[in-house]
Amino acid sequence: MTITLKVSEETKNKMIEYFEDLKRPNTPQYAVFQAVDGDSVVTLYESGKCVFQGKDADLASEFWVETEKLNSGKAITTNSDEKKKDTKDINPLDKKIYYATTIGSDEVGTGDYFGPIVVTASYVTKEDIPFLESLGVRDSKKLTDDKILEIVPQIIKKIPYECMILSNKDYNKNYDNGINMNKVKAILHNKVLSKLTSKYKSEYVVVDQFCAPNLYFSYLKDTNAYKNITFTTKAEDKCLSVACGSLISRYVFIKEFDKLCDSLKINLPKGASDKVDLVGKEIVTKYGIDKLNEVAKLNFKNTDKIKELLNQ
């Protein structure tokens, strides 16, 4: 099977980072890289065309189709068996998972230059579903930070959860030791899931898929990995325990982010935009370049942009 996906510049950059450890030494002409993902070969071209080839090309491409939909609103694919199609409406709600007793995990902070990475797993029973729906958890992606600050205290009083916070100082230390972002996430997800599954029994354990399952477990090969996991993209729409994990993580992130702003006496922007570069320059001017190691993810391109601004 061969599947071709046209990707935006944002998705292209994420793919370059994601496949860093899986690249082949040689690449075809006009290709940015060629990599092996499970039983598929992935080739990303300078034009933004990405080709997935192999018996599980559909699985290898699924995550990137969903990523492109998040980045640009839709994803257009072609494959060897079907005509071109708009995949905007694929992956409907899985009712078996949605209405089951589940444990699910999700993370926030991985796209923010400032602020920690937070991963949370939560345990949701069938009986909890009406309560969570009444709070609007089913549409977790549509909730504002103000709404999250309002409803999460109600959630954590009723819903068991495990949460881990990774500071940027520790993130930078891990990255310097060859532990990339996806491996960091896999380790944190495994820790919170292992803790929660040791206390509660569920019908499904669900993770919002951020990499191929075989790669996820390869990151955990030297640990005691919890393995009975259902990986799915847009999991917060399909599984309320993942949605709760997302909201609790966001709540904790907001609280930690506010503490960081107070300690620096600077109003930090979220994300990794040009505004971040200007505030980064302000931090360095005020506290010195070493301060970024404590408050920022140094491998982001923002670090080089901040240094360029300082040299102007």
pLDDT tens digits, one per residue of 74-94:
877 887 655 444 444 444 446
Structure tokens at 149: 């600050």
Provide the Cα torsion 274, 277, 282, 285; round to 10°.
Answer: -150
Task: Please give the pLDDT value at position 278.
Answer: 96
As given in the structure block, the two tokens for residue 199 are 């206390």
Residues 215 and 59: their CA atoms lie apart, in Å, by 13
What is the model's pLDDT at position 85? 45
Q: Is there a single domain that holds both residue 217 and residue 233?
A: yes
Amino acid at 70: L
Q: What is the pLDDT of residue 82?
A: 55
Q: What is the pTM of this model?
A: 0.74
Distance CA 245, CA 226 (A): 17
The pLDDT of residue 93: 46
Count of domains for the chain: 3
Residue where one domain finishes, among candidates 86, 105, 136: 86
Q: What is the pLDDT of residues 150-170, one digit of tens each?
A: 999 999 999 999 999 999 999
**238 with 293, same domain?**
no
Q: Which of 54, 86, 118 is the last residue of a domain?
A: 86
Torsion of CA 151, 139, 217, 16, to 10 degrees: -110
Question: 181-197 vs 168-176: helix axis angle to the nearest 10?
Answer: 120
Say yes or no: 139 and 254 in one domain.
Answer: yes
Identify the pLDDT of residue 233. Answer: 82
Segments of the chain with pLDDT less than 50: 83-93
In a shared domain, residues 207 and 105: yes
Look at residue 88 in the predicted model and tell me its pLDDT.
Answer: 43
Domain that holds residue 119: 95-260
Please tell me the predicted confidence (pLDDT) of residue 84: 45
